[in-house]
Structure formats: structure tokens, C-alpha cells
Structure 1
């Protein structure tokens, strides 16, 4: 009996010992910055076992500062938390199997006093820092004019680019969303954020790749990652009321007004915006901020009113916005284009006038609810309504030789009245069209996404449901009158085609999808993930064209529709289409998470089916198309250190031709652009690869960023174009083609010099485009494959000096392009642009600030001589701040020398074009800016006194992130 008892005790002891060694204990908590109480994003959390301090588990905190470490066994540990610019925190832990879920609560990190002291001596903040895969820009390192909006600051960031349409790239990646303190600002809309967020409220700007809701919760890569710009509000401004009111009048009948009011309390944000201007929708944000190379494509007068909110409680996060926009655009365009043909080229010129009035209302909402620690629910509904009223007129002409060889300005000879009084282009003229159009439309759309995630255990097993629904309804009405004359038809050299039409096109569509994902832990920090999604889309359109010329040849635009027009529908110009799309998407992936690296690799299988019911005149068809696609994906991240990482990803995507392109029908709605379908089209497949590396040296304030990408498409859909020499029209047929690919490389470098008052940043690009297209050979009546290549090399270099009252900068850039055309080498050219300039800001002791910049941009190497020109652009601003920093009056002058043009250029494998738009570039404005700050902290009030945007700038107290901390 004694032996049995002893054996039982030994067995029980052994069992308990084995059980105690099982890894079934989790450690969770949250990390915040002690002074700001903001979450410490991507802070490093490590669990070290005692007594040898061996690494047991580790993870980085989320965007809200939370962390949950992988499971470990019972024992004695030290929890170590590290974060750049803060003192490391060490917390002893005794983990016991009796407490499987250990929550350490909220850990506050104190500022590193040594780094602070060093920064106060140098009085300069680093421009860029790296935290894991997040780039952090310090707003106080970039001075902007008084009253500047976020757009002015983004222009100064190393590696940032803003194109003519306001789209932003940062380090070669498209910016998709703008957030404030981790919360979406007006649904993340980039243009709204650029034009309505004042620089003076911004402390830090963080850019990173934000995962989708599904990937963030489940870890399953769905390819919907977005590059975002996350703004941190300055210390003290995140509690109370603050904002800006800005009103301005100027020469050339220019005006601008803006209101931004914010109410921040703890985790709650409310923002009200309103604006109106006629400075071409550029989000007028203070003069002297930099030469404006963005072209003014027309005269725009936008108006905007909106409200955005976000709040966060222990278990629920809410956010949303409502926004109304109206824009009145007056656009005049002068265009000349050249279409490459196998034998000779075709030339076209056009003049157009457009008056477009658009109004939209949109609303979005976001709810994230965590009813318990194992469940997460996200709901996102959206709604939008739009209305447009457009009027346009155009004069076009096509020629079989270069009209510029005969007259200085062929666009003066496009109106029929000008042609009839004397035509120097008669011998080369193919056709001419004079037309006018009125159109109006109304559209309603709504969609919603519901995602429910349930953790099945603490080891990573979870299941997720995501459902989506969308609906859209659009009614479009178009009234046109046009006259086209043909000059090269032998039997009738001066034939005329007149079309007066009323076209109505109601369309509606809806779609829904349901997706189930499942993640199964199969080993330590290793997961097998499954996903299945079913998607259905439906759309219906019914285009009806009525011939008004037959009823009343004298009918003109703006007049009521003739009586009985309903009986004159033209079957050959109308069409009805009903489209149904079914898609199944099954994917499997394997995910590894290790201390130094993460790897996710998988494959997606997609059987698809499409059904189209189509009617055009007497032609009716019901057709079905079924295809099977598969797409691989891989995402690899290697972490050399906290400030250095390498990332590589590959994704394959399939693309389906539209069902209408697959039908062997002729669409002659536009007699000069006839389209014919091709039932033999194949799906396209695009390979995309991207490599990204960054590193940062905090002591030297030196950062390096590299980005390389490659994209190639198999079975691209191109157009075979048959040119009609008699009419000047073209008949296009979609066809598959191989050979389209592109490669991109970027190297960014920024550093502070020894005393930190001098900074240098460089941004180098290389881009290669291989574009293929078909050129129709008139002699053998067949397509020839043409290849156009473009190699672009560019460099931007900036250097600046800065002290407490003065800043001076030099900048230069050069971009060289080598364009080659395989079949038409006479079209080869090597254009290049270069620019150089200087900018300065001077702050006088009596709160007066002078800002100016001047830059020369030159274009060379274009075969079109009008493109080879210099533009010397000079902007300036003089501002006076008073009422203890609460008010500012500024006088601003743009394009003082009146040299900026509004010319844009495009090149493709089958042609090139040059367009010039109307616009007002040179004018003066007087601004009055008032800053609102009620119930805010003392630091917020002090932040409004700084002459260059708050704490850390001259006139404010020394300090950087949050006023008083320098990294």
C-alpha cells in the first residue's frame, strides 16, 4: 500500500511538472507615452526568462498600443518594453499556470532625458525617423507659411509627390487614406485631409501600410493593404476646442474662405469643415510654400461643408462623416495630337469649352465592437448621392499631314465659318466636326460591410464571417447636336453628316458577397489559414437614342424636345444589356511569425461565370462565359533591428475582359470611333512584385529608404485600330497582346550634418516602361506590333540651413527620358526637364514673417518646339501675427513674373498629345486668419504662438514632438 501511495505521488508530481511546462499562459497589456497619454505604436515588447534573460516571446504593439504575447510556460520573467525616444521599462513577472491570462495593465513610458537634453542643445528635430515599417516625419522640421494646410507640409516631405490631380505618392506608393490619431478623417479621403487640416495642429506624420479590417483581425493577407498618412495632434490640442477661420480676397476676382473647428476630448474627436474658393481647387493654403508646378486645368469654384467624428470606449469604437461638395468648373482646352500609323501619321486638333456643375453628398459610418475578449464585430455602411449638369462645345479636325507645317496655329481653322472663308489646310484636311452637348445625371449608391470574428482559443484559432452589399442607380440624359464634314471621299468630297440626338441611359446595379475565413495554429507561431468567398454582381443598362433631326431639322440645344420624339428611337444606336457575374474564391495560405521575420504564402483559386443578355437593333444574344483562374501571393518581412527592415511581396491578379468586348457586334454611335467586339479575348494576368528596405540612425539623424517594383501583364487587352483615310475615322477591335511591363526603383537619403542645423535629402528615381500596341498596316491589311519604351531617370536634391529666426534652402531636380518607337523611329526623342531654385523664411522679432521662393523650370529635347521653354516662378508672402498669436494678416503674391503655363503632355505606344488649359496663375491675395482655442491646455495656447506652426518653431517654446521633446 505504501508503494502504491509513493508511486501515485510521483506520478502526480511528474504530471504536474509536465503540465507546468505546457505553454498555455498569455501576457497582455497596453503601452502609452507618459507625457501625451497617446498609444505607443509599434513599441517592442519582449518577455525574457530568468535567470539568463533568454528571449521567450516578443511582439510589437498595435496602432492603439495593445499587445498580446504568444503563449509561454509558467516561470519567472522580465517584461521589457522599448520605444525610440523613451526610457526602456522593465517589469518582473511571476507567471503561474493558475493564471493563464496575465494582464499587466497600462505601462507608461517616460521620455529619454538624455536624448531630450541633447536635442534642446541642438534645437533641431530630425526630419525622418523609422519605427519598424513606419516612417515618422516631425512637422516642426519643415517650416511652412502662416495659415498653411497639410498639402503644403506634405510637399516638403522627402519622397513625397503630388501630381496635377492632387494624388499623393510617398516613397513610390500611392497614399490611400489620411487619419488623425489613428482614426479615419472623413472616411480617410486624401484630398479632403490635404485641403482642410491646418499644419499648426500637427505634431508627427506617420506613414505605413495599413492592413484591411480582415487582415488586421485575422492575419490573413487579402491584398487590400493601404498606404496611409496618420497625423498625431500636438500635445494640449487634443483636449478642448481649437480651429482656424481664414478669409481672403485678391486680384483677378480671386477669393477664398475656410473654416476648421475641432473638438477633442480624450478619445473623442469632432471636426467641422467648410470652404469656398475660386483659386482652382488647390486648397489655398498660404503663399510662398513652394513653386506650384501643378497645372491649373480650368477655372474651378468648389464649395465644401462637412462634419467628421470618432470616439472610442472600452469595448466600442465609433466613427463617421457627412460631407457636401459642389464644384463649378469652367474649362477651355486646346489640344493637338498625333496618332502613329505604319505608313505616315494621322494628326488631330481640337478646341473645347466645358461648363460642368457637380454636387455630391456622401456619408460613411464605422463601428467596431468588442463585446468580450474573444469577439470582434465591425460594421461599415456608406451612402452617396450625386447630381451633374454639364454643357460643352467642341471643334475638331483631322489631317493626313502635320498642320503645323502649313500654319502657325491650326486650331484657328476648326470652326466651319473659318474654314469657309479661306482654308490654308484644305489639301491635308480629312474631316471636321462642330458639336455641342448638354447632359444631366442623378446617381444614388449605398453599400455596407459586416465582419464578425470569433477567437476559438488563445492560441490563434479563429473564424471570421464578412458580408458585403452594394446598390447603385443612375439616370443620365444627353442632348447633342453635331455636324461632321468629310473632305477625302472621292465620290462626294464634301459630304456632311448631321446628328441631333437625345440619349437616355438609365442604369442600376447591385452586388453582394459572403466570405468565411478560418485560421488554425499548427505549430509555435505558425498558422494554416483558409478562406472561401462567393460574390455576385448584377447590372442593367438601357441606352435609347432618339433622332431629333428627322422630326425638326431646326431643333437646337436648350430647346424643348419636339413633340412625338418617343416614336423616333434609332435601334442601331441604342442597346440593352443585362449582366450577371458569379465568382467563387477559395484560398489557402501558410503564415509564420518569428522574432526576426514573418512569412505568409498562399494560393487563390477562382472559378468564375458571367452571363450577358444583350440587344442592339435586330441583334439579340444570351451568352455565358466560364473561366478558372488561380493567383499566388507571398509576403515576407525581415526585421534586422527596430529601425531597419526588409519587405518583399508578390501577388498575381487576373483580369477579365468586359462581356460587351466579347460580343461580335459593331457600335457606331460615334462615326469617327467605331468599336467592334472580339469573342476570342482571353483573360489577362498581372504579376506584381515589390521590394522595400529602410533603415535609420537616430544619433546621426540619417535615414535610407529604397523601393523597387516590377509589374508584367500577360494577355493585356489592347486595341487594333484600322484607320479610314477617307473619313479620318477609326475602327477599333480589342485584342490580346503580350509585352507590357514596367520596372521602378527609388533611393531616398536624408541626413542632418554635424551641428544639426544643416540638412540634406536626396530622392533618386529610375522608371522603365515597355508599352506595346497594334499599328494597322494599310498595305497588307494586318496588324503590326509596335513597342514604345520610355526610360526615365530623375534626381531631386534639397539642402537647408536653419536657426531660430532664419531658414534658407536650395533645391534642384533633373529628369531625363529616353523615348523609343520601334516601328516609327522618326518619333524618337529624348526630352528632359531640370529645375533649380531657392527659398527662405525670415522671422522678425515683432512677429512678422517673410517667406519667398523662386525656381526656374526648363524643358528641352521635345520635337514639339512649343514644349521647349523656361518657366521662372516666384512666389512671396509677408505676414503679421498679433493678438498674442491668435490672429494673422498676410499678403501673398503668386507667379510674380507671370511665366507659369498650363500645358500637359502624354505619350502611349500608338500616339502622343499636348493639351493647354485656361487658368489664372498670377494674382495677389490678402488673408485674415484667426485661430480658435477654447478650454485647451496651456501647451495648446502656446502652440498657437509659434511663427512656424506651433511648439518647436521660432517664437514658440523649444521642443519637437509635442513641444519639449526631441528625438
Structure 2
């Protein structure tokens, strides 16, 4: 009985303790939960089908309190800070991948940092529609020619050719009308394969309108003989060839400019040309007068001045005589007249025999007149004698003359001696130059690639110059400035340089196959020089002997 009572009492106590603990736990679980956080951080990673992070994907987070957007970093990770709501929608987009569907998440609003599961993007592939490209490329590379299509470059209305060239790849255009193509200077301009106004590059690109141009061609030219025979000899010249549009091959154009200023300054120019198929007539002229001068300071020093008059003109005619003969006539003249004046005052010091510093005062006056004239004549005649024979004859003449007159007077005053020095240097020279070229080619009837050609070139240049040197130095006493003695030198220097060049070549070409041929070429060259120079003193009785 006592045993049963003790057992019952122990069980009752244990049951009572369990009931109390359960009641206490229930009371705790039914207490007030912690409040939600005001903001939180949400992060995740975007991956592709290869389990690599997607770089630069756009991730958008939206909720009733948030509208946030960010991009994934180099590892594909994105982070949103200060997210106000724990219930939000995520959308991911990236180029080359299909957009993810909007994903809604409801997170624990008491968690400060939420790390999401990886988001997977699927690759997207699109098949483009067929693309048809019409037209030809802007630049065409041929064996010896680089060709630009003018219509592929946009220039302003009434633009000239130089403005068109500035927009083309590999071109460098100078303000003086010079042109460099791919690092090589261009030497000549042609219009439709023929020299334009004597081949003057600056006149061509600065005056011809861009609207008439169909194509710009930069040609490596090996000469007329190479162009017809295919046999290239020597180094080529870079030449600009302008081909005109069919609807712009006939027309007249003119440019006139003039400017004037004080002290007789002026600058004027005229350019006119007529293009009519194979006929081209061009006239060009430029005239300028400038005044240059530098004033000396109030305390002495020097001053210089003078004028420069320059001018040039040219006439070019290209036309046909009948159906077989074509000629190209060019004449040009240019000249410069330069007058210079200068006055210089200087002070220097010398040491006399007693070791004292002695001042030396000098006053120098100089006057100079330098005049230059150049004439150029060239006639090119081409004759297609028949379908198998071609002849070209080119006579040329050039004449250059120069006259220089220079005077100077120096007045020197010092304690160690006074001097008057008068110097005159007068010179004149002339250079007539004759030249000519003959080219003949015969092609064989059975095979036009089989041909025989002959070319002869000659040039003669005769330079004649004469210089008169006169120098007088007077030594004066002090203070009367009477002439104690003088020194006179009067000389005439004469030079003559004769240069003659002759060249002849014969070429035969035998084709062996479509891409090969056998060439035979023989050349004869002669260069002759005859130079002389004499110096004579001029005395009261006449010329002395050669010294």
C-alpha cells in the first residue's frame, strides 16, 4: 500500500511539472514578434547555361515601395542596398540572352542581408534577314593605280577638288596646293588621262569644281613608253588623274580674285577653262606686290624694307586635228622683281696697341634689285598613223634669265682709323634649254601584245653667267677725313656650263602566255658636260689677263 502511494505521488508530481512547462512555453510562443527592418540588402548572381557569370546583365527590382535597377559585375553578381520591402519582383535582361520571366519573392523582413539563389539566363539566337549590298567600294586597288569614287564623299556646294581630296583616305593637301598620297609627293595633274594646264597640280585642285569629278585616280606613272609597251623602267612618278562625269564633260568656268592694300600692295588672280570632250583650253594668271619692312629702334640698330613683285601666267590648249592627230600645247611665264633696302648702325670695340678699348662706329647702307624671268614651252603631238602604228613627238623649250644689282656703302669711324668702303656686285645670267622626245610603236596584227617600240630623248642646257665685282676702300686721316690711300678691286667673273643629254631605247615584247611575256630592251645613254670659268681684273687700259 505504501509502495503504491509513493509511486502515484511521484507520477503526479512529474505530470504537474510537464503541464506547467508546456503552459509556460505556450505563453512564450504567443508573445509579441520582433518588428520588421526598415531596409535590407538583396544580392544574387546571374549565370548562363555554362554556369559562368553573365557580365553587364540588367537587373530590375520592383515592389510597392521600391523601383531599383543595377548591372552585374565581372563575376555576374548584383547587389541592391536599402531595399524597403521584403516582398519584391526581380527581372533580368541581357544582350544575347532571353529575358527572364518576372520572379516574385517574399523574404523574411527581419533579415538584414538576403542572398538569393542563382538566376539562370538562356542563350538567345536570332537569324538576320538577308542583307543586299548595292554599289561598288569607295577605293579600288589596281596594279599601278589607286582609284576613289567621288560620289562616296560628301562636300559642300561649289567645293573645289582640293576639298574633295581632303576627305579621301591617305591624302594630305597643303594650303599651297601641294598633295601627298600615302607619304609620296604628287608631281602632276591630269584630266581624263591628259596633262591639265601643263600638269599644274595646284591650279587643277584649287580651281576645278568637285561636282564634275567622277573618279580620282592616283597613278604610279613610269612614262609614256611604259604605258604603251608594258615595259617599266626606273622609278615611277605619282600623278593625279581626274576623270569627269559624263554629264559634266562639257562646260566653261572662271575664277577671278583681287585684293588691295596700302603702300601699293595688291594680289590678283584669274583662272578660266573650257572643257568640251577631248578639247580643253585653260588660262591662268597670278600677280602680287608685297611690301616688307622692319623699323629700327629709337636708340639705333637698323631698318630694312623693300618690295617684291611676282607674277605668272599660263596658256594650255588640247584638241584634235581630224581623227588621227591630237595635240597639247602649253606655255607658261613667271617672274619676280625683288627690291631690298637696309640701313644698319653698329657700335663695337677694339683693343689698340696700348691695351685700351677703342669704340668703332659703323653705318652700312645696302640696296639690291634682283629680277628673274622664266619661259616654258611644250608641244605634244600624238598621231595614230593606223590601227597598228603610233607616233608621238614632243619638242620643248625653256629660257631663264636673272639680273642682280647689289650696292653697299660702309662708313667706319674710330680713333684707330677711318674708312669708307663702297661695294658693287652686278651679275646676269641666262639659260636656254632645248629638249625633245620621239616615240614610235608598232603592234603586230596577229597578236596585239606583240609590239616593237623606239624612243629617243635629247636635252641641251647652256648656262652663261657674268659677274662684275667692284670694291673700293678709302683710308682717311683724322679729323680732316682726307684720303690717305685707297684700295680698288674691279673684277669680272664669267662662267659657262654646257650640259647635253641623249638617250635612246629599243624594246621588243613577245607574249608567251596570258600572264607571261619575253622582253628585249636596249638602251644608249650619253651625258656631256663642258664647264668653264674665268676671272679677269679690269684696269684703266682694259681687261687684264685671266687670273
Q: Same fold by TM-score, threshold 0.5 exceeded?
A: yes
Q: Determine whether 1:129 maps to 2:139.
A: yes
Deviation at 1:303, TM superposition (A): 1.8
Q: 1:329 aligns with which of 338, 342, 352?
A: 338
Q: 1:535 aligns with which of 525, 530, 535?
A: 525
Residues 158 and 357 from structure 1, CA distance in 2 versus in 1: closer, same or farther, beyond 3 angstroms? farther
- Counterparts of residues 585-604 of structure 1 (less than 5 Å): none
- TM-score of the superposed pair, with normalisation by structure 2: 0.56
| Alpha carbons 1:198, 1:244 under 8 Å: kept | no
Unaligned 5+ segments in structure 1 are 1-112, 120-125, 281-297, 334-350, 395-414, 424-432, 485-495, 552-563, 573-967
Residues 162 and 354 from structure 1, CA distance in 2 versus in 1: closer, same or farther, beyond 3 angstroms? farther
Match of 2:468 in 1: 479
Match of 2:384 in 1: 370
- TM-score of the superposed pair, with normalisation by structure 1: 0.33
Q: Determine whether 1:311 maps to 2:319.
A: yes
Match of 2:221 in 1: 210
Deviation at 1:445, TM superposition (A): 1.5
Match of 1:59 in 2: none
What CA distance in whole angstroms lies between the structure 2 residues aligned with 1:309 and 1:366? 10
Deviation at 1:141, TM superposition (A): 4.3
Listed one character per residue, the Cα deviations across residues 274-316 of structure 1 (whole Å, up to 9, x for unaligned) are 2212369xxxxxxxxxxxxxxxxx9643222221122357544
| Alpha carbons 1:518, 1:531 under 8 Å: kept | yes
Q: Determine whether 1:470 maps to 2:470.
A: no
Listed one character per residue, the Cα deviations across residues 480-529 of structure 1 (whole Å, up to 9, x for unaligned) are 24589xxxxxxxxxxx9975322222343433332111122234421121
| Alpha carbons 1:475, 1:507 under 8 Å: kept | yes
Unaligned 5+ segments in structure 2 are 1-131, 292-305, 343-364, 474-485
Residues 145 and 455 from structure 1, CA distance in 2 versus in 1: closer, same or farther, beyond 3 angstroms? closer
Larger relative contact order (Cα-Cα within 8 Å, sequence gap ≥ 6): 1
Listed one character per residue, the Cα deviations across residues 239-280 of structure 1 (whole Å, up to 9, x for unaligned) are 143222322324564322222222222221111222212369
Larger radius of gyration: 2
What CA distance in whole angstroms lies between the structure 2 residues aligned with 1:240 and 1:460? 37
What CA distance in whole angstroms lies between the structure 1 residues aligned with 2:262 and 2:216? 35
Partner SS for 1:187: helix
| Alpha carbons 2:207, 2:255 under 8 Å: kept | no
What CA distance in whole angstroms lies between the structure 2 residues aligned with 1:500 and 1:140? 68
Q: Determine whether 1:267 maps to 2:278.
A: yes
Residues 352 and 186 from structure 1, CA distance in 2 versus in 1: closer, same or farther, beyond 3 angstroms? farther
Count of aligned residue pairs for this structure pair: 364
Partner SS for 2:512: strand
Q: 2:500 aligns with which of 469, 493, 510?
A: 510
Match of 1:407 in 2: none
Listed one character per residue, the Cα deviations across residues 89-145 of structure 1 (whole Å, up to 9, x for unaligned) are xxxxxxxxxxxxxxxxxxxxxxxx9758xx9xxxxxx9x633433142749947589
Q: 1:220 aligns with which of 225, 231, 253?
A: 231
Match of 1:521 in 2: 511
Partner SS for 1:531: strand
Deviation at 1:382, TM superposition (A): 0.9
- Counterparts of residues 45-84 of structure 1 (less than 5 Å): none
Partner SS for 2:398: strand
| Alpha carbons 2:176, 2:202 under 8 Å: kept | no
Deviation at 1:220, TM superposition (A): 1.1
What CA distance in whole angstroms lies between the structure 2 residues aligned with 1:212 and 1:514? 14
What CA distance in whole angstroms lies between the structure 2 residues aligned with 1:254 and 1:157? 37
Match of 2:400 in 1: 386
| Alpha carbons 2:369, 2:404 under 8 Å: kept | yes
Residues 251 and 373 from structure 1, CA distance in 2 versus in 1: closer, same or farther, beyond 3 angstroms? same
Listed one character per residue, the Cα deviations across residues 764-815 of structure 1 (whole Å, up to 9, x for unaligned) are xxxxxxxxxxxxxxxxxxxxxxxxxxxxxxxxxxxxxxxxxxxxxxxxxxxx
Q: Determine whether 1:360 maps to 2:374.
A: yes
What CA distance in whole angstroms lies between the structure 1 residues aligned with 2:511 and 2:172? 42
Deviates further, 521-530 or 217-226 = 521-530
What CA distance in whole angstroms lies between the structure 2 residues aligned with 1:131 and 1:332? 55
| Alpha carbons 2:153, 2:168 under 8 Å: kept | no
- Counterparts of residues 229-308 of structure 1 (less than 5 Å): 229-233=240-244, 236-250=247-261, 253-278=264-289, 300-308=308-316
